[in-house]
A and B are shown apart, each in its own frame.
Chain A
Amino acid sequence: MCSFQAKTTLVKTDMFADIIYKKSKTKKRLVRFVRLLRENRLAFSGFIVFFIFLFIALSGLVLTSGRSPVFDPAHIRLQEKLRPPFSRANVNILQPDEIPPMGIYIFGTDNLGRDIFARMLQGAWVSLTVGFVAVGISVIVGIFMGGIAGYFGQGRMLWVDTLIMRLVDIMLCFPSFFLILTVVALLPASMYNVMIVIGLTSWMGTTRFVRAEFLSLREQDFVKAARALGLGNLRIIFRHMMPNALGPVLVSATIGIASAILTEAGLSFLGFGVPPPHATWGNILSDGKNFIFDAPWLTYIPGFFILIVVLAFNLFGEGLRDMLNPKLREDR
């Protein structure tokens, strides 16, 4: 009886020790990541801006949607058009539900008297989703194509590699922005079409370097060892090689988000993007350009925010690359 009890307590402490051991390990890694991030100031500021942007976009989604949103991005007040930033709303002529929160147009109003702050909030969500969904599509396609091409880039299955890489070459022949313009012009205008089209025209870069990464990974012993254990091709590609190639993919995805946001803004500016009345940073800019001398804030505000967000993603991406590259980092 006594020995049995001793045994159970032993097992318990063992389990407990195990849990603590595991927890401290993940915590240690997190701490190390944060420290590395803080050492790289540019990347850290990019990271912070990214989080602020994420927060704004999410709250923008909540605050600007619904039947009576807090910030109404679509409400037209013709009496109040082209008001500069921080001007007070004229409480006397507006209906109570037309008045912006706190009675101030934080970023002013446009030529139809719509609240630019509300429109920027709505547009933030568009930029965020376009960035993430488009890059998500391009990364998934790119990883899949690049993985297959790289793994089979030799021997009997060489034609698979050749086929995929020539397809990449063909896709890269087209100037991608004009390709996107053409496709978007042919499709019915919607936010989702824009995302899908941007995603499907930007997977080539990912494919190329995932393939390059795989060509070198394929010769590594652990791949040979996995084969010697009898694992299947697909399992080796996606379970064993992919996680090893994911670092650079992550970096290029982060930078890719920046360029997707920029592309969407460009499309909206040209009138091919997300259809009005939905606001995006690109079409606020586009609408504002007609009043650039009378109401410069209509162009400066969206322009400034596009700049900041794109810059933040680029800096964060580059910082991430430095952090993931063990050669550039000193382990102390």
Chain B
Amino acid sequence: MSSPPLLSVENLKVFFPSRKGRLARAVDGVTFDVRSGETVCIVGESGCGKTVTALSILGLVHAPPAMIPEGKIIFRGQDLLGLDEEDMRSVRGRHITMVFQEPLSSLNPVFTIGYQIKEAIKIHNNPDKEELDKRCVDLLRAVGIPSPEQKMSDYPHQLSGGQRQRVMIAMALSCDPAIIIADEPTTALDVTIQAQILNLFSTIQKQRGMSILYISHDLGVVANVADRVYVMYAGTVMEQGSVTDIFNAPVHPYTKGLLASLPHRSQRGKRLYSIPGMVPDPSDKPKGCPFHPRCPDSMERCAVYFPDKMYSCGNGHLVRCHLAL
């Protein structure tokens, strides 16, 4: 804890108005930080607010209808929520950038990939044409695209899914950002390609020393890439800790449930475990701990009172549950 974290999100809340004047509390008090050079994972089920958190870091949630009543997003000592659109734009791409889930729809179908990468380079600095070509080829080579000179004049539909995601990563790298937010970048890819992309991420990180905020629902992937893990449920962080703590000694029943629902070789032929019940509707969350209706270890006080701070289990392993006391 010597140097301040590169990016820290403090008690961030993002609400959307839903029907009948109610509020969908998509992100409800999330706190986490990313230090330079590390890979931080945010894990959680669909609809737990992972993507909204990521988008709000870049200021990409449309601000009405969405509301951000509370919270801070501090990047290099500056609160990003306080910036206007103009300043925010200079942060996007240059300092923080994002790789999205669907590599096909994230590339503009009417331009060649060379054009799109060059454009990404040109936004924040303007080299001459030869330099631009050279940097574009270098980027494509860095992300492992074969014969980059030729591929530059290809359109997105002419590439395979893995290649498209590599191109997206190349675009994200174009301005040497400090943080890459990867929002489930391997979900649309098959397993072999997935492994290649994950390797690519870790190579790039080693070479350039950047931080990665990796958002995923895939615990297998998380175990592979993460240094530290945040487990999110219903808009809040339930448990956080180093990847070994989370996977070897989970404390929160939700984390335990997630890990138990992974297929395992020793349980061959048996039914897979699944956490009973459904993710709560973000505009109609249960009182107390949002997980208590589904929790196998739920106690009386869980329905009444949700701990407003995280309990430490030592060594940076924090849990928001009465059981951890």
Contact = CB atoms under 8 A, between A and B. Distances in A.
Contact of B106 (A25, A155, A225): A225
Given A18-B149, A18-B150, A243-B110, A228 B168 contact: no
Interface string B27-67: 00000000000000000000000000001001010111100
Interface size class of B (residues with CB under 8 A): 35 or more
Given A154-B62, A155-B62, A155-B65, A229 B106 contact: no
B91 A230 contact: yes
Contact of A244 (B110, B119, B172): B110
Interface string A235-254: 00001100110000000000
A232 B89 contact: yes
Most A C-beta atoms less than 10 A away, residue of B63, B90, B105, B107: B105
Interface string A142-160: 0000000000001110000
B216 interface: no
Interface in B88-114: 89-94, 97-98, 100-102, 105-111
Most chain A CB within a 10 A radius of its CB, from B93, B109, B110: B110
A224 interface: yes
Contacts of A244: 108-110
Contacts of B55: 224
A21 B154 CA distance: 11
B124 A230 contact: yes
B171 interface: yes
Given A156-B63, A228-B60, A229-B120, A222 B92 contact: no
B120 to A, nearest CB: 5
A236 to B, nearest CB: 10
B100 A155 contact: no
What secondary structure prevails in chain A residues at the interface with B? helix
Nearest 7 CB-CB pairings of A with B: A230-B93, A230-B92, A228-B98, A229-B93, A221-B105, A221-B106, A155-B62
Interface string B170-194: 0110110000000000000000000
B18 to A, nearest CB: 16
Contacts of B153: 18, 21-22, 25
Given A221-B106, A222-B107, A222-B108, A155 B120 contact: no
Give the secondary structure class of B's interface. Answer: loop
Nearest to A233: B85
B324 interface: no
12 contacts: A18-B153, A221-B102, A222-B109, A226-B108, A228-B92, A228-B97, A229-B174, A230-B91, A231-B89, A240-B111, A243-B111, A244-B108
Given A21-B150, A230-B123, A230-B175, 10 more contacts: A22-B153, A156-B64, A220-B105, A221-B102, A221-B105, A224-B100, A228-B58, A229-B172, A230-B92, A231-B119
Contacts of B92: 227-230
Interface residues of A, number: 24
Given A21-B150, A221-B100, A225-B98, A230 B64 contact: no
A14 interface: yes
A215 B246 CA distance: 42
A22 B98 CA distance: 31
B105 A222 contact: yes
A226 B106 CA distance: 8
A231 B98 CA distance: 13
Interface in A265-303: none
A220 B106 CA distance: 7
A154 B17 CA distance: 14
Interface in B113-161: 119-120, 123-124, 149-150, 153
B139 to A, nearest CB: 13
Contacts of A226: 108
Contacts of B171: 225, 229
Nearest to A227: B60
A18 B114 CA distance: 14
B236 to A, nearest CB: 25
A248 to B, nearest CB: 14
Contacts of B175: 230
Contacts of A243: 108, 110-111
Contacts of B105: 220-222
A126 to B, nearest CB: 35
